[in-house]
Amino acid sequence: MSVYETDVPGVGRKFELELRGGARVVVVVHHDGRCELYYRENDESDGRKILDLTSDEANKLGSILEGAYFESVDLDALTVPLGDAIIEWVDVPSDSPLVGTALGESGVRSETGVSVIAIQRDGETVSNPDPGFEVEAGDLLVAIGTREEQTALRNLVEGN
């Protein structure tokens, strides 16, 4: 992961953070403290503006991202009452092989070992969905399982 810094004369400073897969987050910090955030899919794409923040908003967001409000923990050292199991939320993209498939026929449990304990769709939550519940693009699967099982679920959802 690389960060590139560039002076922008008369404006301020530009930072580009390289993400997985070649995408980038671009942050332009103006002399007055205002910040603009852009997202670029790749080097050839034009960035699309995500946020335009005042100085105070940018400082607050920076504090949150830095962990001043919630400090993340080393997951390998974390102990929880679920043993090795963790709960994760997995987005179902439109090109997922699970779209249009009933949960019971999707192979989620048999192939990955996770249990889907809820599905969030359009602001609604379906707890303990039955095996006939059909997965749709944009669903958010709430699943419980080990880290390895969660990785297997993500791979299944992404078609890997």
pLDDT of residue 69: 67
Q: Are 132 and 68 in contact (CB under 8 A)?
A: no
State the greatest distance between any 2 C-alpha atoms of the chain, in Å, as a whole number. Answer: 60
Domain covering 76-158, topology: Alpha-Beta Plaits (3.30.70)
**Residue 113, phi-psi category: left (phi > 0), alpha (psi -120 to 50), beta (remainder):** left
pLDDT of residue 155: 92
In tens, the pLDDT along 50-97 reads: 989 998 898 888 888 887 766 666 666 655 556 678 888 999 999 999
Q: How far is CA 35 from the centre of its chain?
A: 22
Give all strands (DSSP E) within 21-139, no chain letters.
24-30, 35-40, 48-53, 86-91, 115-121, 124-127
In tens, the pLDDT along 115-160 reads: 999 999 988 899 999 999 999 999 999 999 988 999 999 999 998 8
The neighbour count for residue 102, using CB atoms within 10 Å, is 14
